[in-house]
Structures are given as structure tokens and as C-alpha cells.
Amino acid sequence: MSKLKALLLTQGMHGMISQVEGLAKALNLNYKHQQIKLKKIWEFVPPFLTPVSLGVLETKFIFDSKVIISCGRKSVIPSMALKKKYREKVFTIHIQDPKVSVENFDLIICPEHDNLKGSNVINTIGAIHYLSENEINKEKNYLKIEKENKKIITFILGGPNKYYSFSNKEIDFLFNKIKNIFTRDKFKLVIIPSYRTPNEIIKKAFLSALAISDYIVVTCDSTSMISEAAITGKPIYVAQMNPKKNNFRFQRFFSQFKQLNVIKDLTDKIDLWSYKKLDEVNRISPIINEKIKKNGII
């Protein structure tokens, strides 16, 4: 039996691709990506004020799938437009809060910290992603780092967004803090990644670093990166920075992950703790498959 075809709609950002691809893999779908670009007039218009039409897209594409998995604000309208056109012939899944009625989709996958509820909403602990333990272990030897009786700390460095500026002063402070905390205990430091590094190398180095590290430090700007690291079950420190604006959504996420004993804020001491590994995409995929079947898509 051939795999069901799926179209993945995103703006092309890593965090979004990680989520749609991770779900498609967990559902055993034959998928292809379509990067969404809206016409300039609709670039900054919220979805609830945008016409439900494929005419808002800058680029047209061929649609030949049964399942649509979308993520991000710009993918909301094309997913809704395809559902409007094909109706019961397609099954639409949107990841994150679409900022429109949840009834516009067959299914919504949304983190608990977004506080979105509904009969067709599946809540997850943190963000879903593409990582698996097998994939991480497969790349364990990629970095070829000799531990020499030292522990390894992996520092996953994000980048500026609308909440965090990543000023030189803040980054210098974080690097000095990590140096002062961990070098005195004879750690080796692995830093991942740089935006100029080729994507495939970043991916392999990232997986390898997760596999060999004893501790993980992640900057506070990405709930996706923290969620990805949580599949390892290893202690995760979050390097906090001063936000540029109200970051209540991040604070809810941090609070939940602290309650689950997944993360701690990076301070001036080293602790050792454990928690149940988070693999949300494989937890929810059987539930989604059942819903797709009930809709007659399979």
C-alpha cells in the first residue's frame, strides 16, 4: 500500500519545518514542502482579515495531496483555501495557534502554553519536532570529540527575534558566564550553530552534540530548540536574556518545563537532574491517524 501524500506549508523557517516534517514522518506520510510567500499587500495583514483565497499567494503550486500540514501565520490562509476548495477530500492539520477559528481546520496541534482549547485541538508539552533518539544516536560520532575524562556541555545558540535582541553585550555576558561556570570543572564546550554554516553540517553537528553532551545550554529565544533538546533526557539550562517586549508566552513555557524538571535557568552553579524524555510527536501521531481514518481520508 502506497503512503498517503501530504503537502507541508511553512514560511521556510527551521522551527516550522522541524514541526511539520516531524509530524509527517511520525504519521508515515509521503510529503513535499511548499514555502509560502504572500503578496506584499497581504504580508502584514492578520489571517482573520485576509481573504480565504489562493489568490493572496505570490507563487502558485500544484496540489495533489490528501493531507495538508501547515505551520505559521502565513500558511493559515492557503490551508483554509485548499480545504474550502476540496472539502472532505483533504484533511487539514495546523500546528500552532492559527489566530482564526479552530473550526477552519480538521485538527490543530498546539503547545499547552498557548492556552488554545477546542474539540479538534490536541495540546502538546512544548513544540513537536523532527528529532528522534535513533537519529541522534546515529550521528553520535560525527564530531569525533575525545572526552579525555571531561564532561561535554553543548551550547545551542539561537538568534534575534521580536522578543530578544541578542546584543553583543548580552552574548559576551552569556559566553563569559558559561566559561566561568563550566571550565573550572573541566568541561569541553560545543557551540551550535552559526547562520553561515551550511544547513546539513549544522544538522549533523547538532545531532552529534546532543548525543555526546552531558549538559545542554539553550538560549531562551526558541521554545522549539528547547523542546528538541528535551528528547535527550539530559539536563537543560536555559540562558535567559532581558526581553524587548512582554514575553508571557515564553514565561508560561518556561514555567511548565521547570515543573516537569526539564529545564533550569543558567545560574552560577552546576546541578545534575533527570526527567522523562519528551517525544510528543510520537505520542500524538496514533491519535491523529485515527482521526484521519475517521474522516475517510485513508
In tens, the pLDDT along 55-85 reads 999 988 989 999 999 999 999 999 999 999 9
Give residue 81's pLDDT: 96
pLDDT reading at 168 higher than 90: no
3-state SS, residue 104? helix
Q: What is the mean pLDDT of residues 201-227?
A: 91
E runs forming strands in 97-224: 107-111, 121-124, 151-156, 187-192, 215-219
Separation of CA 38 from chain center? 22
Map out the domains of the chain with their CATH numbers: 5-130+281-294 (3.40.50), 133-265 (3.40.50)
191 pLDDT more than 90: no
pTM as predicted: 0.86
Q: Cβ–Cβ contacts within 10 Å for residue 187, how many?
A: 20
Residue 187 clears pLDDT 90, i.e. is over it: no
**Mean pLDDT, rounded, of the chain:** 91
pLDDT on residue 25: 95
Q: Which residues pair with 70 in a beta bridge?
A: 9, 94
Q: What is the pLDDT of residue 195?
A: 55
* 267 vs 199, residue with greater confidence: 267
| pLDDT at residue 5, as a whole number | 95
Higher-scoring residue by pLDDT: 122, 186: 122
CA distances from 224 to 41, 104, 143 (A): 29, 25, 23
